[in-house]
Amino acid sequence: MSGVGSWVRAGRHAVVTGGSSGLGLEISRQLVGRGVGVTLLARDEAKLATAAQALRAQVADAAVRTRSVDVSDPDAVVDAFAGLAADHPIDVLINSAGIMREGYFETLPAAAFTDVMDINFFGTVNAIRAVLPHLPHPGGRIVNIASLAGLTGVFGYTPYCAAKHALVGFTNALRFEMEPQGIGVHLICPGEFDSPLVEALDATRTPENRAHTLTIPKVPVETIARETVAALDSGRDQVIPGRVPALVSTGQRLLPAAGKLVGRRKVAQVYRGPGHP
Ligand SMILES: NC(=O)c1ccc[n+]([C@@H]2O[C@H](COP(=O)([O-])OP(=O)(O)OC[C@H]3O[C@@H](n4cnc5c(N)ncnc54)[C@H](OP(=O)(O)O)[C@@H]3O)[C@@H](O)[C@H]2O)c1
């Protein structure tokens, strides 16, 4: 969908947190390909510059800006969005910034929980709080990248599932408040896809997590980004990208006992536990 009547069109401005890597970068690539101006927002300036350069190399006339900010710092985020909006009115905020901490609950440090909550949950809350005064009412959009791990439990993901479940609940509540103001709120719940986050996870993840997570096959990041961008055009408020993850998720919702049984079996096949040397 890109013709007359599409929400996604040239002249729009999207701010993408986590835009320097993985899904945020792929969403940005697809948006600039449709003429949308994009501001990539993340912490590492060198990564931001490399990502912006890659987008400019891939898409002629790409309007790409960058802004270094830590989404877990509420004051810095307010300043960043005020500056961005003063330069270019913002039409949509896409919250993709996130980190991963995986491991057995007994061996994870307390900081794993605070870090994941601070970035994956409060980072999104901070960005939305900061962008709202600058989004058009009506007409603005907010997209939150949650996870299938926000809809179900996953071995090894006690911090990550906690943050993503919080994000799902927050998003579904916020939508009721935003819709009367004409602001669309979209929730995207991908299953696992290849990205730098997963590459790092693969180096350390527990065997139980690998077996449990990969019960659902990976979906290409391009597909996840395409379905995310399509939600802006269609107005769909919740998307589980990929046919198989969507089917499995529906199955788990309708038959929760079967979903838990499959998960238990996958975990039991490789179980090692925290006592392993
Ligand atoms: N990969 C998967 O299998 C998967 C599955 C479901 C959902 N998701 C979700 O999808 C989103 C993107 O994941 P990904 O796999 O694309 O990860 P990624 O490649 O590691 O990208 C994460 C991005 O977030 C930024 N970021 C991290 N902490 C930040 C902070 N405090 N402030 C600002 N930016 C920050 C990173 O840049 P800096 O480090 O430079 O700040 C980077 O740009 C995450 O929300 C993740 O939970 C991923």
Task: Report the separation in Å between the CA atom of 197 and the middle of ligand 1, taken as the mean of its atom positions.
Answer: 7
Neighbours of 114 (CB within 10 A): 14
Q: Which of 16, 17, 21, 170 to mutate to test the pocket of ligand 1 (most atoms within 8 A of CB)?
A: 21
Q: What is the pLDDT of residue 2?
A: 45
> What is the dotted CATH code of the domain comprising 13-270?
3.40.50.720
Per-position pLDDT tens, the chain of length 277: 444 569 999 999 999 999 999 999 999 999 999 999 999 999 999 999 999 999 999 988 899 999 999 999 999 999 999 999 999 999 999 999 999 999 999 999 999 999 999 999 999 999 999 999 999 999 999 999 999 999 999 999 999 999 999 999 999 999 999 999 999 999 999 999 999 999 999 999 999 999 999 889 999 999 999 999 999 999 999 999 999 999 999 999 999 999 999 999 999 999 999 987 6
Q: What is the pLDDT of residue 61?
A: 85
Contact criterion met (CB below 8 Å) for 231 and 143: yes
With a 6 Å cutoff on the Cβ, whether 96 touches ligand 1 is yes
Q: Which amino acid is at 49?
A: A
Nearest CA to ligand 1 atom 11: 96
With a 6 Å cutoff on the Cβ, whether 259 touches ligand 1 is no
Catalytic pick among 104, 157, 160, 271: 160
Q: Which amino acid is at 25?
A: L
Nearest CA to ligand 1 atom 3: 192
With a 6 Å cutoff on the Cβ, whether 195 touches ligand 1 is yes
160 given a catalytic annotation: yes
Task: Report the separation in Å between the CA atom of 198 and the middle of ligand 1, taken as the mean of its atom positions.
Answer: 10
Q: What is the pLDDT of residue 60?
A: 84
With a 6 Å cutoff on the Cβ, whether 190 touches ligand 1 is yes
SS3 sequence of the chain: CCCCCCCCCCCCEEEEECCCCHHHHHHHHHHHHCCCEEEEEECCHHHHHHHHHHHHHHCCCCCEEEEECCCCCHHHHHHHHHHHHHHCCCCEEEECCCCCCCCCCCCCCHHHHHHHHHHHHHHHHHHHHHHHHHCCCCCCEEEEECCHHHCCCCCCCHHHHHHHHHHHHHHHHHHHHHHHHCCEEEEECCCCCCCHHHHHHHHHCCHHHHHHHCCCCCCCHHHHHHHHHHHHHHCCCEECCCHHHHHHHHHHHHCHHHHHHHHHHHHHHHCCCCCCC
Phi (first) and psi of residue 67, to 5 degrees: -150, 120
Nearest CA to ligand 1 atom 44: 98
